[in-house]
């Protein structure tokens, strides 16, 4: 084949394809993005919880963004157990202090990090939580100890509004 | 494909056919030369077409009463069951129809595996079939979510969470699929939309599946190429139509048994409890037809690798025409393959059984062994067998094993020229 000289038509083709591709992308994007969380879903971003009735050793479960959040008032034994764990034994090493701002209160998403089931309270080999779906065991700090889950149960953004109220989100 | 020219008899027919050759198509379908030795395992294509149409018709009628909203879906299904005229019947046909559809598709797939129907020149038929199978699983999964019971909700949660195993973008994809931060109303409405769409995609693919089939024609229990039309073939109508019809009737007896006598036996009682995002049922299991893959997912202790193994178990089927290196199609003439075939059948049944059991102790061990064997079959045994196996002599025609010697000279010559 003879050597081909780039001419005006080649430039026009390239420019047309490029503009066409941008146009196509701009047209398709709204169709894809409409499936992302909408404004009304995002508006429910935070929730305030009254914790005055929670006694030590008791867990309450509240719904935040459609997901359960565990709020557990831990007993001194549980706190001691959570703090005494050697970090090298953990699949997802994290200190208990980094998970519970106030050691008495553990606030975390009650969602197994494997495939999203709700783990059961006070069950499993580590006195913490046990996920009935695929057998993940969590300790008293909600850290993964055994089973298929890859990470510890997630701690959401939260703060103590006052001594009786936690604001999640 | 029969190449004969078709001319309609009536003047109007000719006028119409010249403009839209529908009559030629009908003539092709009725005269379509079919191997005369097709056994009852070949009737499941027709049965599957029946299943698809049943699901579409019952689905359309259910959609007239169902409400796709997280607050009303569960109640609307109960409304269908109690108030809507014959609603119970239509819903039970639809729900059990899904199981019957999968029963038929598994027989259809394993028939292909036994008789080597996926081999050249039928690879495209096979791959279209695998795509249909994947779409069926997607449709079945989303359909199961619509009643918004506990199994619906938690099944949806677990399956959509599979995507979170993808590194980096996984969480974003899951949020996008959900349309929120958990399975909720936006998830339900989009699942309803897709559940409505997919059967029509399947219908389109079924047309392609049959079109691709009509190019080389049917494989047959002997697995040899035959000349079409010839003494080895019969016209589709009335021979195959009647045989398919009879098999369909038998199949409908089984279908009706489930619908009328055991409509809930294949489901889970938990799905009659309305979805509750705060409580996971003690024992989550998918519907029976997904259990083997669920067992593979759970047998791998790593989240990402588990998902990869489960998807590979399905996608590996698409590569089957190239993994099986044997030139002989039918297992009838492959003494070793025949044994491995039945081991595979047993292996898949075992996977299905352990998939329904808790993933611990002995069950987990069995699941791991069975998963390993599943991949061993496709990745090692099949490729090696094609080279090592001593196959039995294959007859020259379908008629030969019956009459002794080949009365069909053309076929004999054809085979000789192929061998040379």
Taking CB atoms and an 8 Å limit, are A35 and B176 in contact across chains? yes
Tokens 């157990």 correspond to A81
pLDDT recorded at residue B1:
42
Structure tokens at B132: 């249909």
Q: Per-residue pLDDT for A127 more than 90?
A: no
Q: Per-residue pLDDT for B128 more than 70?
A: yes
Express each pLDDT in B316-373 by its tens digit.
999 999 999 999 999 999 999 999 999 999 999 999 999 999 877 899 999 999 999 9
Å from B172 to nearest chain A CA?
9
Express each pLDDT in A46-105 by its tens digit.
888 898 888 888 999 998 888 899 999 999 988 988 888 888 888 889 888 889 888 889
Mean pLDDT of B371-398: 94
Mean pLDDT of A26-46: 89
Task: Say if residue B144 is preceded by a cis peptide, omega within 30 of 0.
Answer: no
What is the bridge-based pairing of β-strands A158-162 and A165-168?
antiparallel
Å from A127 to nearest chain B CA?
18
Of A38, A66, A114, which is closest to B182 when you measure between CB atoms? A66
Contacts of A114 in chain B (CB under 8 A): 161, 303
pLDDT recorded at residue B407:
47
pLDDT recorded at residue B418:
54
Q: Which of A66, A120, A137, A149 is the best residue to mutate to test the B interface, defined by the most B CB atoms within 10 Å of its own CB?
A: A66
Of B161, B179, B183, which is closest to A35 when you measure between CB atoms? B179
Residue B189: count of CB within 10 angstroms of its CB: 15
Structure tokens at B214: 């009509």
Q: How far is CA B244 from CA A147, B35, B223, B231, B249, in A?
A: 49, 14, 20, 21, 9
As a whole number of angstroms, the distance between CA B4 and CA B24 comes to 10
As a whole number of angstroms, the distance between CA A70 and CA A142 comes to 10
pTM over 0.90: no
Å from B168 to nearest chain A CA?
14
Mean pLDDT of chain B: 92
Structure tokens at B309: 């193994």
Tokens 């969602």 correspond to A111
As a whole number of angstroms, the distance between CA A131 and CA B34 comes to 55
Å from B262 to nearest chain A CA?
27
Q: How confident is the model at residue A153 (pLDDT cuts 50, 70, 90)?
A: very high
pLDDT more than 70, % of chain B? 94
In which element (H, E) is residue A149 found? none
Residue A76: count of CB within 10 angstroms of its CB: 10
Radius of gyration of chain B (CA): 24
As a whole number of angstroms, the distance between CA B103 and CA B100 comes to 5
Would the CA dihedral through B302, B305, B308, B312 be positive or negative? negative
Contacts of B183 in chain A (CB under 8 A): 66
Express each pLDDT in A102-125 by its tens digit.
888 999 999 998 888 899 988 888
pLDDT recorded at residue A123:
84
DSSP code for A89:
G
Q: Per-residue pLDDT for A169 more than 60?
A: yes
Contacts of A68 in chain B (CB under 8 A): 277-278
**Residues in contact with A66: Cβ distance below 8 Å, sequence separation at least 6, in sequence order:** B180, B181, B182, B183, B184, B277
Q: How confident is the model at residue B420 (pLDDT cuts 50, 70, 90)?
A: very low
Q: How many residues does chain B have?
A: 420
Show which residues of A are catalytic.
134
Q: Which of A120, A133, A136, A149 is the best residue to mutate to test the B interface, defined by the most B CB atoms within 10 Å of its own CB?
A: A133
Express each pLDDT in B160-181 by its tens digit.
988 888 899 998 999 999 999 8
Taking CB atoms and an 8 Å limit, are B161 and A115 in contact across chains? yes
Name A109's bridge partners: A69
As a whole number of angstroms, the distance between CA B76 and CA A51 comes to 37
């Amino acid at each position: 084949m003879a050597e081909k000289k780039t001419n005006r038509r080649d430039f026009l083709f390239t420019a047309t394809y490029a503009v066409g591709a941008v146009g196509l992308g701009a047209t398709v994007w709204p169709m894809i993005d409409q499936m992302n969380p909408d404004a009304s879903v995002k508006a429910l971003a935070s929730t305030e919880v009254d914790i005055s009735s929670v006694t030590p050793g008791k867990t309450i479960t509240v719904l935040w963004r459609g997901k359960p959040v565990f709020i557990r008032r831990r007993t001194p034994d549980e706190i001691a157990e959570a703090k005494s764990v050697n970090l090298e034994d953990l699949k997802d090493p994290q200190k208990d202090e980094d998970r519970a701002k106030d050691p008495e209160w553990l606030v975390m998403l009650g969602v197994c990090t494997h495939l999203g089931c709700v783990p059961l309270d006070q069950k499993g080999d580590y006195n913490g939580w046990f996920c009935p779906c695929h057998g993940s065991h969590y300790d008293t700090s909600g850290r993964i100890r055994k089973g298929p889950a890859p990470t510890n149960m997630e701690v959401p953004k939260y703060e103590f509004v006052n001594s009786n109220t936690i604001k999640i989100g | 494909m029969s190449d004969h020219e078709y001319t309609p008899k009536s003047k109007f027919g000719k006028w119409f056919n010249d403009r839209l050759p529908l009559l030629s198509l009908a003539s092709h379908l009725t005269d379509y030369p079919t191997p005369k030795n097709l056994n009852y395992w070949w009737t499941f294509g027709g049965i599957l077409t029946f299943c698809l149409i049943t699901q579409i018709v019952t689905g359309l009628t259910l959609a007239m009463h169902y409400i796709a909203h997280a607050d009303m879906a569960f109640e609307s299904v109960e409304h269908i069951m109690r108030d809507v005229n014959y609603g119970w019947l239509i819903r039970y046909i639809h729900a059990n129809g899904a199981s019957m559809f999968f029963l038929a598709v598994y027989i259809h797939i394993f028939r292909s595996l036994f008789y080597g129907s996926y081999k050249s020149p039928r690879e495209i038929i096979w791959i279209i079939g695998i795509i249909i199978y994947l779409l069926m699983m997607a449709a079945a999964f989303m359909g199961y979510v619509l009643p918004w019971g506990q199994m619906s909700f938690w099944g949806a949660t677990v399956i959509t969470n599979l995507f979170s195993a993808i590194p980096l973008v996984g969480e974003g994809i899951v949020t996008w699929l959900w349309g929120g931060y958990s399975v909720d109303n936006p998830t339900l409405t989009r699942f309803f939309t897709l559940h409505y769409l997919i059967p029509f995609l399947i219908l389109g693919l079924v047309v392609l599946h049959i079109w691709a089939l009509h190019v080389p024609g049917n494989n047959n229990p002997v697995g040899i190429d035959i000349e079409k039309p010839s003494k080895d073939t019969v016209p589709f109508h009335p021979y195959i139509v009647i045989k398919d019809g009879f098999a369909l009737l038998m199949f409908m007896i089984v279908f009706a048994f489930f619908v009328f006598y055991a409509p809930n036996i294949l489901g889970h009682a938990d799905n009659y409890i309305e979805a509750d995002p705060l409580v996971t049922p003690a024992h989550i299991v998918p519907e029976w037809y997904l259990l083997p893959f669920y067992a593979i997912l759970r047998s791998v202790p790593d989240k990402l690798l588990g998902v990869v193994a489960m998807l590979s178990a399905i996608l590996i089927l698409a590569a089957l025409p190239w993994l099986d290196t044997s030139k002989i199609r039918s297992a009838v003439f492959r003494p070793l393959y025949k044994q491995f075939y039945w081991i595979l059948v047993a292996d898949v049944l075992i996977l299905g059984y352990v998939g329904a059991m808790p993933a611990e102790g002995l069950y987990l061990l069995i699941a791991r062994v069975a998963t390993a064997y599943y991949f061993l079959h496709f990745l090692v045994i099949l490729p090696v067998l094609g080279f090592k196996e001593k196959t039995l002599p294959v007859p020259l025609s379908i008629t030969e094993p019956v009459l002794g010697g080949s009365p069909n000279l053309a076929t004999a010559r054809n085979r000789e020229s192929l061998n040379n």
